[in-house]
Structure 1
Amino acid sequence: MSDAARIGLGMMRIDTLEPDEIRELYRGARDVGVTLFDHADIYGGDHGCERRFSEALRLTPAERGEIVLQTKCGIRPGHHGFDFSAEYIVRRAEESLKALDTEYLDVLMLHRPDTLVEPDEVAAAFSQLEAAGKVRYFGVSNHTSRQIELLKTSVAQPIRVNQVQFGLGHAALVAQGVAANMEGLKQSADRDGGLLEYARINGVTLEAWSPFQRGFFGGSIFEQGGLRDLQRVLGRIAAEYDTSPTAIATAWITRHPAKMRVVLGTTKTHRIADAVAGAQLSLTRSEWYELFAAAGYEVP
């Protein structure tokens, strides 16, 4: 996987952009080697960002073949809850195909876990979409290892991707393992059933969404009033590498041997370039753990 292939661009915020701004953002990403563009049926309302993306870019078949388009479904827009029924998955995928003006999706993901899921329903939807050539690969988002195993009791296709929130401001994915067997320490609580190790064992690519957020949408790790110790260490290491704090925060994610991808939510082309530059760096173990501790996590 190339360094630029470790970076994807999320399209959640393009509903506020003008068509020429969307084109500029897309071209800025392509210019630094980014080919993965991440959507969801609920971004910008009901398929709103998918439509704005296709209408602004009007990709030729050749251009479409050069990029990876992935989208997500399962959250019911305007309603409470989730829907992993076969009818709903197929309908929403076909609506995404129309909105994106494409004949196929490279990846379709189930957005958040549906506790009412029937694995046979998901299996029927995936098989129908695959057989029709409408979806090439399948994945999930925000799923635990056991939730993936439940799907696999019926689903024949490999679950290739799991998109989860991860970064220095939201690092429970690795923090629990670091503090395993430390009774009474909040960090040691197992929230996901060993998802990090599960992904590495089973060949599931983890994609880190909101990689620079503090907690669950608690603000950026770079903002004033955020994690000051982390900002100080990020700044010092960035200066030592002659790069930006964004690059170092990205390098912290891509340094992990799980070979995660980083899905940016930015609308700034310079931040995309910084992230790609970060994916080219290899932090030392000492630097990785220093950043982890500066983010407020326990290193025994």
Structure 2
Amino acid sequence: MRTIKLGTSDLDVPVVAVGCMRINSLDRAAAERFVATSLEQGANFFDHADIYGKGTCEEIFADAVHMSPSVREGLILQSKCGIRPGQFDFSKEHILTSVDGILKRLNTDYLDILLLHRPDALVEPDEVAAAFDELEQAGKVRHFGVSNQTPNQIELLRKSVTQPLVANQLQLSITNATMITRGFNVNMENEQAVDRDGGILDYCRLHDITVQPWSPFQFGFFEGVFLDNPKFPELNKTIDEIAAKYDVSNTTIAIAWLLRHPAHMQPVTGTMNEQRLIDCCKAADVHLTREEWYGILLAAGNTLP
């Protein structure tokens, strides 16, 4: 699969990341097949979080991939921490304890990337920096990033954190694209001009932080999938026509739309269906034209000023 550099790091990663949030929905044999299919597609970047399945997803993955030192060499593992029941927690103690738990469940000595999952209102940047330094020096984490954070939240961390923040995982899809559409509704008196993220897309591009879109097929906040959904007839008609042109599925085109953006994003899939994962991976080889990209954007109900 085609690769990109993750942020400012020297790490080459596939342009499609495999999300493992739902791997606990598979039995052992199905999980083994799913992971094997991922690797066959060149999708060796697996995204986890300590809260997925209350930790069981990481355990199931390690078992499915038959984790060993030789297997580990061919994997790129990312996990997230910072969410606890009823609160977010970026304290040094919680970060260190979380990573130890993640490593134990994944049966590995190190993570390639650790992301802070959701912004903690009580964050002390110096504590985060101390945790990152200890994890890096111990060889437990090689690269660091964030998730769901605005430019100022990242800047606050960067006051103390010395390691580059290489990724920011954000909700983004064709139907949830305000971070894109706000960019050409500057100073307009309409809904699309509302700044909901502080210009995070441009910020990430300026600072070479890789955007990792999560829920790339969702509309709203987990309201459903827009593909083949009667709520989006014009969008699906447009996607299906373009899919027919490239002889791929509508799933492929939805991911290709994200990959066409010059921010060099790395979408995180969520499917546990092997064929849909294959279709997602095929997007790495589809380069939409400017007309096709804008056609999809407008078909989703967005307007140009």
1:189 corresponds in structure 2 to 194
2:74 corresponds in structure 1 to 66
CA positional deviation for 1:224:
2.9
- Residues of 1 paired with 2:243 and 2:65: CA distance? 35
One of 220, 236, 244 as aligned partner of 1:239:
244
CA positional deviation for 1:271:
1.2
Q: How do 1:258-269 and structure 2 match up within 5 A? A: 258-269=263-274
- Residues of 2 paired with 1:121 and 1:268: CA distance? 40
CA positional deviation for 1:131:
0.4
Over the aligned positions, Cα root-mean-square deviation in angstroms equals 1.2
- Specify the code of the residue in structure 2 equivalent to 1:6: V
CA positional deviation for 1:279:
1.9
Query: Is 1:217 the equivalent of 2:225?
Result: no
CA positional deviation for 1:241:
1.3
1:168 corresponds in structure 2 to 174
CA positional deviation for 1:16:
1.6
Find the residue that maps to 1:257 and give its secondary structure: coil
1:19 corresponds in structure 2 to 28
CA positional deviation for 1:178:
2.2
- Specify the code of the residue in structure 1 equivalent to 2:264: K
Query: Is 1:41 the equivalent of 2:85?
Result: no
Give the unaligned 5+ runs of structure 1. none
2:89 corresponds in structure 1 to 83
The two structures have a TM-score, normalised by structure 1, of 0.96
- Specify the code of the residue in structure 1 equivalent to 2:140: K
Q: How do 1:1-300 and structure 2 match up within 5 A? A: 2=2, 5-45=14-54, 47-76=55-84, 79-183=85-189, 185-300=190-305
CA positional deviation for 1:240:
1.3
CA positional deviation for 1:226:
2.9
- Residues of 2 paired with 1:171 and 1:249: CA distance? 12
- Specify the code of the residue in structure 2 equivalent to 1:153: K
CA positional deviation for 1:141:
0.5
- Residues of 1 paired with 2:24 and 2:80: CA distance? 17
CA positional deviation for 1:176:
0.8
Give the unaligned 5+ runs of structure 2. 4-12
- Residues of 1 paired with 2:222 and 2:228: CA distance? 13
CA positional deviation for 1:5:
0.7
CA contact (8 A) 2:36 2:65 kept: no
CA positional deviation for 1:280:
1.1
CA contact (8 A) 1:165 1:208 kept: yes
Q: Percent identity?
A: 47
CA deviations over 1:239-295 (Å, ceiling 9, x no partner): 111111111111100000000001100001111111121121111111111100111
Find the residue that maps to 2:303 and give its secondary structure: coil
2:6 corresponds in structure 1 to none
- Residues of 2 paired with 1:299 and 1:228: CA distance? 20
CA contact (8 A) 2:49 2:80 kept: yes
CA positional deviation for 1:223:
3.8
More divergent stretch after superposition (108-117 vs 214-223):
214-223
- Specify the code of the residue in structure 2 equivalent to 1:222: L
CA contact (8 A) 2:170 2:214 kept: yes
CA positional deviation for 1:56:
2.6
- Residues of 2 paired with 1:237 and 1:139: CA distance? 34
CA positional deviation for 1:180:
1.6
- Residues of 2 paired with 1:36 and 1:110: CA distance? 18
- Residues of 2 paired with 1:43 and 1:283: CA distance? 33
CA contact (8 A) 1:179 1:298 kept: no
Find the residue that maps to 1:208 and give its secondary structure: strand
CA positional deviation for 1:128:
0.5
CA deviations over 1:196-242 (Å, ceiling 9, x no partner): 11111101000011100011111001143331111110011111111
Aligned length: 296
Find the residue that maps to 1:102 and give its secondary structure: coil
- Specify the code of the residue in structure 1 equivalent to 2:2: S
CA deviations over 1:31-65 (Å, ceiling 9, x no partner): 111010000000002x1111111123222212211
CA deviations over 1:154-203 (Å, ceiling 9, x no partner): 001010000011110211120110212212x1111111111111111101
More divergent stretch after superposition (187-196 vs 216-225):
216-225
